[in-house]
Amino acid sequence: MAILATAVWEFDPGASNNNGGGYDAGISGAGADYSQQTTAQLALTDLAMTTGGATLTSATGGFTSAMIGNCIQITAGTNFTAGFYFITAYTDTNTVTIDRDATTGSNGSAGTGNVGGSLAAFTDAILEIFTAGNKLWVRNNGTMTITATIDISNAGTATAPFVVEGYNSTRGDAPTLANRPTIAAGANRVKFGAFWILKHFIFTTTEGIGLSADFSNSYNYFYNIKSTNSSGSGNRDAFYIAKGHAFLCEGISTLGRAFFISAFPSSVSWCYAHDSASGFECDATSDTVSFTGCIADTCTTGFVLGRVSTVLNSIAYNNTTGMSIDPGGEGNVFITNSILSDNTTGISAVADQDNSTGFHNLYYNNTSDVSNFTKGAGAVSGNPNFTDAANGDFTCTTGGAGIDAGPDLTLVGLTGSYKWNIGVDQDDLSAGGGGGTVSYISV
Amino acid sequence: MMINEKYSFKDFTGMSFIENDPDEFSDSTIKGACFSQESNDDTLKSIFPVGMQNVVFENCNLDNVLLPKTCTISGSTSNRNIRIMPDGNDWVLGTNKYVLSNRLVVLEPVNKKSFIKENRNIDPAQFELGDIEIEVSK
């Protein structure tokens, strides 16, 4: 037996990385969960164990039956293998059974260990020992500071991913904005393995690739995370996504890329990139990258699109170049139902990009709407009537040119009035529409 | 020593406190805070106020931060001299323990584990020594 997939771990910056940190309700007879407290429930310095067995003893004692299911971290001792062990049975105050032999091959003595208590901060060593399917909770009790590289090989699986979830005061409260736990990485890489899912964090870094996961086989996703790369060095990323997905995330990379997508298939949905050199950027050779409901605001280039990229219901606002297309001459870029507003150039493509196409996009107040790019069918000109774009409100008020100006779904045989809007805001302003010239193509 | 609640478990990446009252810091323990700085040269940055003394930094990130003489570090605190090298990556500078010299040299990438996993060159000799051998001033 080892750490089971059902184990749950707790991190709290105010706790200690010498604590047990884990609880597994799947262990028969599991008692109280002592992992959700900053201090250990029991700290011992005289642990002993006969090699080859799983019986752990302490002359001092203090074990209780309620400790079954809790993790004891053995940090040192004679002939002990430091590590995390789960208590599976209770004999008496001086004796418990743990999930496996904790010795190095000789009888262990003078062992130090803590039962219960949260772990304090991610380290590479700690994150490598978990088992696929484990859940990691991070409590918002101040910033978690990273002091060394984290580059995890430990991989989840499609059916048993690792899930790392921040919370504010109660597990599962799905915090937003400043109530999310902060992880500060400095110059240290923080790269998760394949099949890691991260939710509800604020992340800061100056490192080259920002918040990232396994490059070649990741299948990870980031959800409700704000990542800021404040490096003074160019081309550094806030998010680095490889075969992964980002939902409802905010990225800022002062001189680099807020969202960099290096491998496909990947998707970025309902994300906000701003005040960056590049908002959303695909590797030039990446296929099958989609951006849906994304907003690039005040970047040098809002979207840098690679070979087969699709942009749907997105906004490029106040960028030097709203969207840049260089698919390497091999692919197609589709920009659909999106707003290009207040950019120096709305969409700029390298020459001869006949296969890159726009449908139902709205152009407004760009110095130049397009360069080497055909606007395509359904193009609209007119003020989208953003509520307050300068302060991040890209909803559209009544009369906005993008309202009801999206594709007409009755052309595919559907019936009814869908009133699809151009842009991110899909509020059904029935009095809207009519701004600009709208024409539809036959599909 | 008293835990410094104001500065513990906070993210101060890139920030300077040089103008702050040293009494906000002195004679306290700061836990789990990130004061990491970036540097494109060899120098550690002075970010704490003159007169600050007797501060223990526990489990903090003090990379590229000049630590006042009366202050100490403990736990997992990092206080490395890091420079962005011509390859665009962060490298740790330090003195070569095998050479009697107080000159800084490039030691290894900050994220050495990542370099090894990605089969990237971790040999500091790839950088021109003349560019980086600078007298230690601290």
C-alpha dist (Å) from residue A103 to A51, A161, B27: 6, 30, 42
Residue A177 contacts by C-beta under 8 Å, 6 or more apart in sequence?
A: none
Cα gap A43→B84, rounded to integer Å: 43
Judge whether A237 and A220 are in contact, CB under 8 Å: no
How far A147 CA lies from chain B's nearest CA (Å)?
5
Measured between beta carbons, the chain A residues lying within 8 angstroms of B74 are none
Contact B13 A206 (CB under 8 A): yes
Of B31, B82, B114, the CB nearest to A151: B114
**Residues in B 65-104 with any Cβ partner in A closer than 8 A:** 76-78, 82, 84, 88-90
Cross-chain Cβ contact A147/B76 below 8 Å: yes
Q: Residues A10-28: pLDDT tens digits?
A: 999 999 999 999 999 999 9
Q: Return mean pLDDT, chain A.
A: 92
A64-85 pLDDT, tens per residue?
A: 999 999 999 999 999 999 999 9
What's the pLDDT tens digit per position in A100-139? Answer: 999 999 999 999 999 999 999 999 999 999 999 999 999 9
- Residue B5 contacts A, CB cutoff 8 Å: no
Tell me the torsion sign for CA atoms B38, B43, B49, B54. positive
The DSSP string of A11-67 is: E-TTS-TTS--EE-TTSTT----GGGSSS-SEEEEEEEE-TTS-EEEESS----GGG
Between CA A207 and CA A237 the distance in angstroms is 8
Predicted confidence at residue B98, as pLDDT, reads 64
Instruction: Please state the rounded mean pLDDT for residues A24-34.
Output: 98
Query: pLDDT by residue (tens digit) across A260-306?
Result: 998 778 899 999 999 999 999 998 766 678 999 999 999 999 999 97
Q: Model confidence over A158-209: pLDDT tens digits?
A: 999 999 999 999 999 999 999 999 999 999 999 999 999 999 999 999 999 9
Bridge partners, A89 (sequence order):
A97
- CA A7, CA A23: separation in Å to the nearest integer? 6
- Say what the pLDDT of residue B129 is: 54
Using CB atoms, pick whichever of A13, A148, A153 lies closest to residue B78: A148
Q: Does the beta-carbon distance from B38 to A235 stay under 8 Å?
A: no
Higher pLDDT residue, B87 or A294? A294
Q: How far apart are CA A271 and CA A280, in angstroms?
A: 9
A17–B90 CB contact, under 8 Å: no
Q: Tell me the two tokens of residue B94.
A: 């330090």
The yes-or-no verdict on residue B68 having pLDDT over 90 is yes
pLDDT above 90 coverage of chain A, percent: 81
pTM score: 0.93
Residues of chain B with Cβ-Cβ distance to A189 below 8 Å are: 110-111, 114
Which candidate, A298, A270, A299, A293, places its Cα nearest to that of A281? A299
